[in-house]
Amino acid sequence: MKCPPDLPIFPLSVRDETAARSFLRVPSLFCRSCIFSVPAFIVWSVVNSVAWYTKSTQAMPFGTIILCLLIWLCVGFPLTVLGGILGKNAASPFDSPCRTKPIVREIPPIPCFKSSFAHMIVGGFLPFSAISVELYYIFATVWGRDHYTLYGILFLVFLILLVGTSPPAVKAFWRV
């Protein structure tokens, strides 16, 4: 794909609503519209400059770069600001889905199996074992002890690695 990563419309709409609800001023919408686009464009332009320097065929021509910038300036940026303003004006006051009590309650201590250390141990054991099995097969082939003919096992271990790293990553992100 040869376009900057800020051209899809869905992330713009999510960012609009977030910016409008958290910051109720229009200047912050300008900053919010650039908070992803500008760093992504800088990283992409460095990569594209290296591709130009090495005379790669994957480098984007200058005209295409200008066209992508104009699309962002004429479509993405105004839609971000407009969506933020409309989201701010159409926002309803917060209505809690359940009844809250004004009584202060004590928060119980966290059990040992929900501690960060336990999550690190359990979340790291399965990926470590999957990578160890994968490396065993690869190194056995490189060192000439075995002929690597079991590509299915490597694929299975890769699936175990994905299954083993996905839930801990989601758990660590959401911290439920």
> Range of 146's domain?
112-174
In a domain, 131, yes or no: yes
CB neighbours of residue 72 within 10 Å? 21
Is 2 a domain residue? no
d(CA 56, CA 66): 19
Specify whether 117 is located in the same domain as 61: no
Q: Are residues 35 and 81 in the same domain?
A: yes
Strand blocks (E) in 20-71? none
The answer to whether 32 and 19 are in contact (CB under 8 A) is yes
DSSP letters along 86-110, please? Answer: HHHHHPPPP--SS-------PPPPP
pLDDT of residue 71: 92
Chain centroid to CA 96: how far? 29
pLDDT tens, position by position, 48-88: 899 899 988 888 888 888 898 899 889 988 888 888 888 87
Judged by phi (left if over 0) then psi (alpha if -120 to 50, else beta), residue 164 lies in: alpha
Distance CA 173, CA 115 (A): 14
Residue 107 lies in a domain: no
pLDDT of res. 21: 52
Residue 100 belongs to some domain of the structure: no
Looking at the structure, tell me whether residues 119 and 70 fall in a common domain. no
Same domain, 117 and 86: no
Domain total in the chain: 2
Same domain, 126 and 53: no
User: Are 124 and 86 in a shared domain?
Assistant: no
In this prediction, residues 142-162 reach a mean pLDDT of 74
Say if residue 85 is in the same domain as residue 13: yes
The pTM (predicted TM-score) of the whole model is 0.42
Q: Is residue 121 part of a domain?
A: yes
- 56 lies in the same domain as 122: no
| 90, 21 contact by CB (below 8 A) | no
Same-domain pairing of 134 and 73: no
116 shares a domain with 69: no
51 inside domain: yes
Contact assessment for residue 137 and residue 148, using Cβ atoms and an 8 Å cutoff: yes
Same domain for 83 and 126, yes or no, is no
Tokens of 127: 């990926």
Residue 126 lies in a domain: yes
Question: Is position 28 within any domain?
Answer: yes
Taking residues 37-48, report their average pLDDT.
Answer: 89
